[in-house]
Every structure is written in structure tokens, then in C-alpha cells.
Amino acid sequence: MTLVPIATLPSAIQTLQRQAASLLLHQSILENEIGEAFLKVLQALAQASQASQVSTEAEAEAGLACLQAYGRWFNLMAASQQSWQDHLLSHVLRANTSFSQQVQQAELSQLPEALVAAVRQDLRSLQGLYTCKSQQVSQWVQALSALPTAPVSWELPPQDFFSAAALAAQFAVADDWATLLEPLAAHYRQAGTGIFATYRAFRWQEGELAGIAHPDPIRLANLTGYEWQKAALLKNTEALLNGAASLHVLLYGSRGTGKSSLVKSLLGEYGDRGLRLIEVTKADLEDLPIIADRLRSVPQKFVLFVDDLSFEEDEAAFKALKVVLEGSLTARPQNIVVYATSNRRHLIREFFGDRPAPRDGDEIHAWDTVQEKLSFSDRFGLTLTFEPADQTTYLEIVHHLAQQAAIALEPEDLDQRALQWATRHNGRSGRSARQFIDFLQAELRA
């Protein structure tokens, strides 16, 4: 790597500062702790390079300011486990700008020429900042702080940017980043921007989407049994991703049968194709119409996941979910489906006292109310039933999980211990099988 001579430092610093200041659409790339710390390093270096013309005392003070600014920048990069180059490039690939938003809805040729020109200019400016290596900055700090040795520079191997490794590699070696505008636009269409490019799983809390950095890693290959239910859910999800008509789904059945795990496993199968999973608790169901409107114009496809769903009578959340399932005057967003799990076939609790009897003061059309309660689950276009696992299915699940965990036990021994576990614990289910295998792994390692 060729370093910039110290004699040309003032000019090099000014060039970097101009490139940072000239950004038209991508200012947010530098509006974060690492970006702001980098700008402060440049500012400290610029002031230190001029301080020698003032006094020795001013020169020493400016040198200390350089060291402090460089130390903060280094510490922030170390904490994030990113190099300066990775930081810039990851933000470029996830940038939420007017360009990245519009290019997801229209072809590059259909966008305003000024917008496209601004992106090209920004990419060239960002490339200039990208070529500023940590080692180079360390050398400048050493010279202006009169240190005997240069401060340690923070360098790391290039990272894999959320399934965009090939495009990141192109940026790393390109002579002109502006020539990569078309593949960058294609990347935005596929991976999304901003929070939807950074995360694949979310939860709705306090009126906002919060990204889940470490979603459940369960994969479809980890699940066995209930094959037709699995096939039906995959077919419906494929339809959603392909822009075809897709249905809201109720996964109903016994506890521990893998209903929630099946929904969560979709993320590992289809996350690369633009599927996003949003967990909505029962307490937040009233916000479903707000969530739907917010996601309507986003190009990614969304599964709103409601786990363990049931209602008391006259809950406001019941009415909000009904609006999303059945629609209203506002058209249903075609990029959203609701996948709900429940242990209750009839989602609204019904009491014997609800049933009509010829008493004064009763509702005249009381059976209509009862039917309204009983038919709510029918508003899901697809209902998948998960029956309790019989012994054969339970043992198939156990053997499948044992094979994945590389547990070397004789099949007869494994069967006997698995059945004993089911008897003494939570019965035969996928959940019991998983708990048994986890216990067995810990026991064999002891």
C-alpha cells in the first residue's frame, strides 16, 4: 500500500474533508459514531498541521487532540468489529436514500437524471473516503504528535455483507464506484434498504419496528413430521414471494407440535429472496392496520407472525385482526400475510352462558353472535391442523434430531430412553423430542 507523504498532508486532508462535505444523498453514512469520529480525526489533523505555524505550545496541544480523536475512532471500530472500509461499504449497500427507495419501485432509466447524477457523484466521493486506510491515518497521527512509533492501525479481513459478498468484492476492486450503479440498484431491489436490509426478523414494540439481530436459527431441515402441513405453508409462502394470491394461515393444534418453529424456519429458507418476519404480540394486535399501511409500499414480502393466538370476548385486538384478515375500504397490501398459531380451534372463548336461551333481555339473534365467534378462524384462508404425535412419529422426530446432533446410541436404546422421557415429562411431541435430545447431548458430554 502506498502511503501519502507527510509533506502533502494538508492537501490530502482537505480533499477528504471536501469529499465528505460534498455528499448529496448519503450524508447519513457519516452521521453515526464511527463516521463522526472519522470527521473529528480529519479536523484534528488539519488543525495540527497548521499549529506549528502558531507556537510550540499550540503544536503540542494539537498533537494531543490528534491522539485523542484517533483513539476514539479506533475504539469505535474495534467495538463494532469493522474496519473503516467495511463500515463505509456496509452503509452503501444498506443506504436508505431517496435513490435507493425509488429504484426499488422503478427502473434506473425512469428515475430523474439529477437523482442518478447525484448518486454517481456520491459514489465517487465515498470511494475517496474508502481509499483512506487506517494505516495512513496512523502515520499522519504519528508525525503530527511527534510519537516514536505509529499508533496501532485497525485492520480486519473484508466481511460478508448480508448475502452481498459478490457485490462488495466488486466495490473493493473497482476503479470507479459510479460504474457499479446498475448492480447496486439491483441489490437494493432484492435486499431492500435501511432496516429491511440490515435485519430479516423484527418485532413490533412501542409503535415501531425493532430489528432482531439474532433470530431463531431453526431451519426447515431441522423439522420432521407434519409433511403435508409443511408443504402447504411453503406453497403459500412461495405464492407470496412470487406476487401471486396468498392466504392468511392459522396453524392450529396441540402444544409442542412445531407450529411456531415451522413459521420461524421460513426465514432461513426465503430470507435471501426478500421475505421478512415480523413478530406481533397479542397486546399489539390493535396496531395491525398501522403496520400494514407502513409496509404497503415496501418491496419486500412480510409475514406478520402472531404466536399463541386467542381472544376474550369483545377485545379490540379481535376487531383489528379482523380488519387485516378481511380488509376494509382500504385495499389489502399484497406483500403481507398473517401467520398465526393457536392451541384453540375456535379463537374466541365461548361459554355455555353465551348460548341462547328464552330469557327476557336476551339478544334476539343470539345464535348469530355465537356463529360470529365460532367462525372467526374461518377468516384465515388456510387452516393447518397439527395433531398430537403418535409413538411412531415421535420416535421419527427423535431419530432425526439425534442424527443431526451426531448422537451415537443404538436405535433400541435411543427409543427406550425417548419413550421414558415422554412418559415422565411433557408427553410425545416435537418439543419433548428436542428437550430429550438436548438433555442427552449434555449427559453424553459430561
pLDDT digits (tens, 9 = 90+) for 389-399: 788 888 888 88
**Which residue ranges make up each domain of the chain?**
6-197, 201-386, 391-445
Give the pLDDT score at 368: 41
Give the pLDDT score at 66: 92
- The answer to whether residue 381 scores a pLDDT higher than 80 is yes
Name the average pLDDT for the chain: 84
Give the pLDDT score at 366: 41
Cα separations in angstroms, 167 against 156, 174, 186, 250, 272 = 18, 10, 10, 39, 15
What's the pLDDT band for 344 if we cut at 50, 70, 90?
low
What does the alpha-carbon distance between residue 394 and residue 186 come to, in Å, rounded to a whole number?
A: 45
Bridge-partner residues for 253, per DSSP?
Answer: 386
Q: What is the strand order of the sheet 301-306 is part of?
A: 208-211, 201-205, 275-279, 301-306, 336-342, 249-253, 382-386
3-state secondary structure of 348: strand
pLDDT digits (tens, 9 = 90+) for 289-335: 889 889 988 888 999 999 888 755 545 666 677 777 766 656 678 89
Element (H, E) at 37: helix 33-51
Give the pLDDT score at 311: 56
- The answer to whether residue 232 scores a pLDDT higher than 80 is yes
- The answer to whether residue 346 scores a pLDDT higher than 70 is no
Give the pLDDT score at 194: 87
Q: Cell numbers of 30, please? A: 457519516
Record the pTM. 0.74
DSSP state of 246: -
The residue with greater pLDDT, 206 or 78, is 78
What distance lies between CA 301 and its chain's CA centroid?
Answer: 13
Give the pLDDT score at 4: 52
Bridge-partner residues for 386, per DSSP?
Answer: 253
Long-range contacts formed by 59-65: CB under 8 A, 24+ apart: 60/146, 62/144, 63/144, 63/145, 63/146, 64/145
Neighbours of 331 (CB within 10 A): 8
Which residues fall within 8 angstroms of residue 66, CB to CB, at 6 or more apart? 41, 44, 45, 48, 140, 141, 144, 145
Bridge-partner residues for 202, per DSSP?
Answer: 211, 278
What does the alpha-carbon distance between residue 57 and residue 291 come to, in Å, rounded to a whole number?
A: 59
3-state secondary structure of 363: coil
CB 163 within 8 A of CB 191: yes
pLDDT-wise least confident of 145-159, 179-193, 301-315, 412-426: 301-315
Cα separations in angstroms, 251 against 81, 260, 380 = 40, 8, 10
Give the pLDDT score at 54: 63
Percent share of the chain, pLDDT over 70 = 84
Give the pLDDT score at 272: 84
What does the alpha-carbon distance between residue 302 and residue 241 come to, in Å, rounded to a whole number?
A: 9
Nearest to 353 by CA among 343, 340, 341, 362: 362
pLDDT digits (tens, 9 = 90+) for 202-213: 999 888 999 998
Bridge-partner residues for 382, per DSSP?
Answer: 249
Nearest to 258 by CA among 346, 337, 343, 383: 343
pLDDT digits (tens, 9 = 90+) for 352-370: 444 455 554 444 434 344 3
Element (H, E) at 54: none
pLDDT digits (tens, 9 = 90+) for 36-77: 999 999 999 998 888 766 677 778 888 899 999 999 999 999
What does the alpha-carbon distance between residue 191 and residue 162 come to, in Å, rounded to a whole number?
A: 9
Question: What fold characterizes domain 201-386?
Answer: Rossmann fold (3.40.50)
- The answer to whether residue 285 scores a pLDDT higher than 70 is yes
- The answer to whether residue 420 scores a pLDDT higher than 90 is no
Give the pLDDT score at 155: 85
Neighbours of 267 (CB within 10 A): 22
CB 92 within 8 A of CB 26: yes
What's the pLDDT band for 115 if we cut at 50, 70, 90?
very high
pLDDT-wise least confident of 18-27, 103-112, 245-254, 343-352: 343-352
What's the pLDDT band for 100 if we cut at 50, 70, 90?
very high
DSSP 409-426: --HHHHHHHHHHHHHHTT
pLDDT digits (tens, 9 = 90+) for 182-226: 999 999 988 888 899 889 999 998 889 999 989 988 888 888 878
Give the pLDDT score at 351: 44
Q: At what angle do helices 134-145 and 33-51 cross, to 10 degrees?
A: 40
